[in-house]
Structure 1
């Protein structure tokens, strides 16, 4: 697991079909290194959907997309997919049961704690940046005695949002 509280990993992918599974593999490696095991499948699916959207709708021929993953304070993970296209991703309403597409951002919205879209990677660039964010659950530590009389430290997820 990482020792740093704030880290970033990024990788550029060309406009080709193999880039989506490669991006997913890169992302799951970072997710595991950063200890987000409980969110691994959901984050992998978000990366797949955002990368697929970039390839299908945002990356012009001869270009690619950038996958950037940021860890803040050891507890919040942000996944960003940047492309150089001019379109803006949006959730489509009412994809029919036989439609092949139209559900990607619905899945991202359901799996991420927060998601959104912005313009450009930097102020002087063009394109679209999509992101999904996930946080580690808060955990309470409970000291108990086992049946054999030994002290056992148990970690229990805390439900609800932190109070301010």
Structure 2
């Protein structure tokens, strides 16, 4: 069985928190609560990157969750150009850890380019059994 939910967010700081809440709500609805903490952190990093580097002023970004039998896919799409780079920041850096954190949490991480913008995606393995609601 495949399910999918998507929500668009305005380009403002409060949208990062709203994207975390969206992920929590969807994963709770799908009874995948063991994934909530890792996926909340991941969407927080990807949404922050979309906000700071991807979505031009006046534009939005979108967060989509989809699930299959074994996997949950998180996608953050924005209309900006460029290619996100996963780098290893030094200990004194105040930023630059977002993609590195997402890469560590997810089973897979990648970028898909579109005519306008890009989608940064992360795939998570489902727990062996769904949690009771």
TM-score normalised over the length of structure 2: 0.91
**Superposed counterparts of 1:38-53, under 5 Å:** 38-53=34-49
Q: How many residues align?
A: 129
Partners of 1:96 and 1:116 in 2: how far apart?
Answer: 23
**1:131 aligned residue (116, 121, 129):** 121
2:106 matched residue in structure 1: 112
Q: Please state if 1:99 is matched with 2:93.
A: yes
Deviations 1:122-161 (CA, angstroms, capped at 9, x unpaired): xxx410100111111336xxxxxxxxxxxxxxxxxxxxxx
Give structure 2 stretches of 5+ with no counterpart: none
Q: Please state if 1:81 is matched with 2:76.
A: yes
Give structure 1 stretches of 5+ with no counterpart: 140-164
Aligned-partner SS, 2:45: helix
Aligned-partner SS, 1:16: coil
Partners of 2:121 and 2:44 in 1: how far apart?
Answer: 12
Mark the structure with the bigger radius of gyration.
Answer: 1
CA-based RMSD: 1.2
